[in-house]
A and B are shown apart, each in its own frame.
Chain A
């Protein structure tokens, strides 16, 4: 037969009340913070995963900022390159007309002025592309291990600079009197100009303006694709993180209610037990 001492029942009650109170406090903390994991020891398995996910989401935000930046810059670059390509098409039209043997000198002079105007516009676009504090060869990290160019490369800018130099030489030759120089007063001169422009617009030319415009345009498109992919990945990460980290408010509320009930029951039973003694009847 086991004996129940006065001190033992008191200690058991104190321990039980303490444990019940601790459980209640934990539930209240979860409710207040809306988090199931408020410190690493709350769930040592989930804690490092939460940290990894949080870091991944931060990096996604950084990549998004870089994407926005890349998008803006690439829009500008591909727009300028497209305009250059369009201007070259206009120049080609003029060159085709100028190469027509039936045109008069006055007609060709008019076309030359038109070509000069196109060249000036090409100049300004090329200058704009080469400007900027950081200049050329800039890239932006848009994903782990993925960089997108956000400015022209040195090679591309050099190609455009060479283009405008060559066009200038063809439109405004240094020595018009030299029969070997390009002279836009002649059909031959216009044919040479046409050949040059055709070369730039050829899809087979890697350094051609049209191909360049297409290339940077495709970078711009790829930026959009990366963004779309990332947004669904971000949602998934956030979902997983929420499952690991966040408290289920309904469950926590039920736990609080249960813990409160248990605590009250313990308190009542102890107070009744303490009143029971033979001394009350002596």
Chain B
């Protein structure tokens, strides 16, 4: 009967209106939920069996308003944006370490060189000498603080990376669960639930912020996720943990990995070799001094054979006592006017056992420990430097003992292979050559031990690794800010040791008569030595200043460039979010209208039911 049909049809309308109100209220409730996509009711006619008529109206599906294309764009943009943002945070920290261009590190270095100027001008002024050691201490303190801060930043980045990897694994597991939920929906004959799809999109977005991924969305709504290198992260209902060796190609992981390989890369000269080269190449003629340089690029000991004296101060007889040689084994003329041993630049070698903790402020000898171990990768020449004997004064005595067969020879003579232990009565320059370094290397014992008394250090020479000025410039530019900063400060330290040598002890002398006493052999006072050492120290100043200008400019440039990138990508991300919200966002006014629409539909259907009911009652009344 028609009235009975009207009842069931109206009942279906009531049911539909209730569903519509539910959906609208759900939209209103989730208006500010991140990642929520507005849902809508898909309405369809209910058809009588056999298709003979309409049985009312029903909910065909509840779908969300979303665009897969927009979601994909959003993920891509967020990957780049988050990467730039993360890089910006760390660059801001690094930029902040340097402070204003004319303050912080630069100011400390300027103060230091000003104190050097004071000592060079008036070494008799005790206040200036004390000021110099104080300024040097301050420079070292600031450097140590900076170095520590860089270390902290690196550690922060490493810790953050661990957290990011953990979160990635959590997200991929959650995505696998979402895929399972969608599978169940499909298995039950329904479409994927909008809430699951929203959850899936939110997880994918967060994953894209953490690292760059490739997403394959199936028709069912399930996703498979891979890294750009092809490693699977999500395959159907299974999740795969991110490999530890995977290097991030974008997102936060990409930013952290880039930083850890560049600005926050650990300074390991054996890996890069650059710091060793940077620190060990002299800012003056590389043939001027010899020095002990370890694989960290630290100058452990330096000796200028003419003891910071000017060549004009020595007699011809004294000069002939001084031995100089070039690193390739050919002795230079003893009348070499430079009177210095050529620089040796060990690269990749490690010298341990030398006390490098002494510094000018304490007045200790640069070298107090005596055991040196070194590892050799190639046939190397160990040069044992000695001091000249001037006026018959022997500086110190020492011995070099090698644990593997070696040769200790006077470089001014033709080498003769002799015993492995050589006793030195006075310090002169000797060369230690290893008889069979390949055997030593194969045995895994790439060490030789040189035991020497104080003042007889051992330095290792690799003639193949001399670095020219142009190469140094390039190596400097290719290095991170941290590496370059270390190079600058260690260059200052090297210059101090080179200029002062053991004269540095004189700075702390309080008995002025000691300093005024001219040396019996040379007639030169310690004041003169100090003044000259300070004057020599300024030879490296121009390079230090140029390096600081370069580092400062580049740090600022990179930070500013990155900030511009962040702003641009931020605008793009905002634009895409706006587009998404236009499609998927909840407009409260629309929902309010929907509510009123469903309310009116409900009221109308109720009226129909009431009328039909009245008709039925009237009919029953008539039959009674």
Interface residues of A (CB under 8 A from B): 2-8, 10-12, 15, 33, 35, 37-44, 47-48, 50-55, 58, 61-62, 65-66, 69, 133-135, 138, 140-141, 241, 245, 277-279, 282
Complex partner residue of B95 from A33, A39, A43, A58, CB under 8 angstroms: A39
Looking at the complex, which one of B525, B559, B588 makes contact with A277 (CB distance below 8 Å)?
B588
Beyond A5-B582, A40-B553, whether A51 also contacts B548 by CB under 8 A is yes
Q: Is there contact, CB below 8 Å, between A7 and B586?
A: yes
Pair B560/A44 contact, Cβ less than 8 Å: yes
* A residues near B160, Cβ cutoff 8 Å: none
| Interface hits, B535-586 → A, CB 8 Å | 545, 548-550, 552-553, 555-557, 559-560, 563, 574, 577-578, 581-586
Q: Give min CB distance, B342 to chain A, whole Å.
A: 27
Contact B549 A52 (CB under 8 A): yes
The chain A residue sitting closest to B577, CB to CB, is: A11
- Residues from chain A with a CB closer than 8 A to the CB of B592 are 277-279, 282
Question: Nearest chain-A residue to B109 (Cβ)?
Answer: A55
Q: From B31, B32, B552, B585, give the contact of A48 (CB < 8 A).
A: B552
Interface residues of B (CB under 8 A from A): 31-32, 34, 38, 91-92, 95-96, 98-102, 106-107, 110, 113-114, 117-118, 120-124, 512, 515-516, 525, 527-528, 531, 545, 548-550, 552-553, 555-557, 559-560, 563, 574, 577-578, 581-590, 592-593, 595-596
On whether the beta carbons of A8 and B560 are closer than 8 Å, the reply is no
For B584, what are the chain A residues with a Cβ–Cβ distance below 8 Å?
A: 5
The residue that A133 contacts in the complex, of B516, B552, B556, with Cβ under 8 A, is B516
The answer to whether B525 and A40 have CB atoms under 8 Å apart is: no
How many Å from the CB of A274 to the closest CB on chain B? 10
Which chain B residues lie closer than 8 Å to A8 at the CB level?
Answer: 577-578, 581-582, 585
Contacts known (A39-B556, A58-B114, A278-B593); A5 close to B587, Cβ less than 8 A = yes
What are 17 pairs between A and B in contact, CB < 8 Å? A5-B31, A39-B99, A40-B556, A41-B91, A41-B92, A41-B563, A51-B548, A52-B549, A55-B110, A61-B114, A62-B113, A62-B118, A133-B512, A133-B515, A134-B528, A135-B528, A278-B588
Beta-carbon contact of B525 and A7 below 8 Å:
no
* Minimum C-beta distance from A237 to chain B (A): 12
Tell me if B589 and A278 are in contact (CB < 8 A): yes
| Assembled-state Cα–Cα distance A3/B590 (Å) | 10
Closest Cβ of chain A: how far from B308's Cβ, in Å? 15
User: In the assembled complex, which residues on chain B have CB atoms less than 8 Å from the CB atom of A15?
Assistant: 574
Task: Find chain B residues with CB under 8 A from A58 CB.
Answer: 110, 113-114
Collect the chain B residues with CB atoms within 8 Å of residue A42's CB. 556
In the assembly, what is the distance between CA of A64 and CA of B102, in Å?
20
A2, A11, A51, A135 interface centre (most CB from chain B within 10 Å): A51
The answer on a CB contact under 8 Å between B585 and A7 is yes
Given contacts A54-B110, A133-B516, contact A40 B552 (CB under 8 A): yes
Residues in B neighbouring A7, C-beta threshold 8 A: 31-32, 34, 581, 585-586
Q: A10-B32, A133-B124 are in contact. Are A62 and B114 (CB under 8 A)?
A: yes
> Which residues of chain A are within 8 angstroms of B560 by Cβ–Cβ distance?
41, 44
B587 touches A4 (CB 8 A): yes
* Complex Cα spacing A140 to B535, Å: 10
**B100, B560, B587 — most chain A CB neighbours (10 Å):** B100
Taking a contact as CB atoms under 8 Å apart, the answer to whether A51 and B552 are in contact is yes
Bound complex: CA of A3 vs CA of B588, how far in Å? 11
List A contacts of B96 (CB < 8 A): 39
The listed residue (A37, A141, A278) touching B100 by CB distance below 8 A is: A37
- Most interface-central of A35, A39, A65, A279 (chain B CB within 10 A): A39
Neighbouring A residues of B516 by C-beta, 8 Å: 133
Question: What separation, in Å, do the CA atoms of A141 and B416 have in the docked complex?
Answer: 49
Known A48-B101, A140-B121; judge A55-B106 contact (CB<8 A).
Answer: yes
Residues of A within 8 A of B110 (CB): 54-55, 58
A52→B551 CA distance, assembly (Å)? 12
Assess the B582–A44 pair: CB atoms within 8 A: no
Residue of A nearest to B117 (CB): A62
Q: Which residue of A lies closest to B563 (CB)?
A: A41
Q: Which residues of chain A come closer than 8 Å to B550, judged between CB atoms? A: 48
Q: Which one of B560, B581, B590 has the highest number of Cβ atoms from chain A below 10 Å of its Cβ?
A: B581
When the two chains form their complex, are residues B114 and A41 in contact, meaning their CB atoms are under 8 A apart?
Answer: no
Residues of A within 8 A of B555 (CB): 40-41
Task: Report how far A222 CA is from B332 CA in the complex, Å.
Answer: 43
Please name the 6 residue pairs, one residue from A and one from B, whose CB atoms are nearest each other, closest first: A5-B585, A40-B556, A41-B559, A48-B553, A54-B102, A8-B581
Cα A62 to Cα B512 with chains together (Å): 25
Within the complex, the shortest CB–CB distance from A117 to chain B, in Å, comes to 32
Find out whether the CB atom of A134 lies under 8 angstroms from the CB atom of B117.
no
Q: Are A65 and B102 in contact (CB under 8 A)?
A: no
- Which B residues are CB-close (under 8 A) to A12? 574, 578
CB-CB under 8 A from A48, the residues of chain B are: 101, 549-550, 552-553, 556
Q: How far is the CA of A137 from the CA of B534 in the complex (A)?
A: 16
Instruction: Determine the distance from Cα of A83 to Cα of B118 in the docked complex, in whole angstroms.
Output: 30
Report the bound CA distance from A169 to B102 in whole Å: 63
B-chain residues with CB within 8 Å of residue A138 when the two chains form the complex: 531
Q: Are A141 and B117 in contact, CB atoms less than 8 angstroms apart?
A: yes
Q: Kindly report which residue of chain A lies nearest to residue B36, judged by CB atoms.
A: A7
Cα–Cα, bound, A263→B236 (Å): 49
Which residues of chain A come closer than 8 Å to B589, judged between CB atoms?
277-278
Pair A51/B549 contact, Cβ less than 8 Å: yes
In contact, A65 and B121 (Cβ under 8 angstroms):
yes
Nearest A residue to B98 by beta-carbon distance? A40
Complex CA distance for A58 and B592, rounded to whole angstroms: 71
* Shortest Cβ gap from A221 to chain B (Å): 21
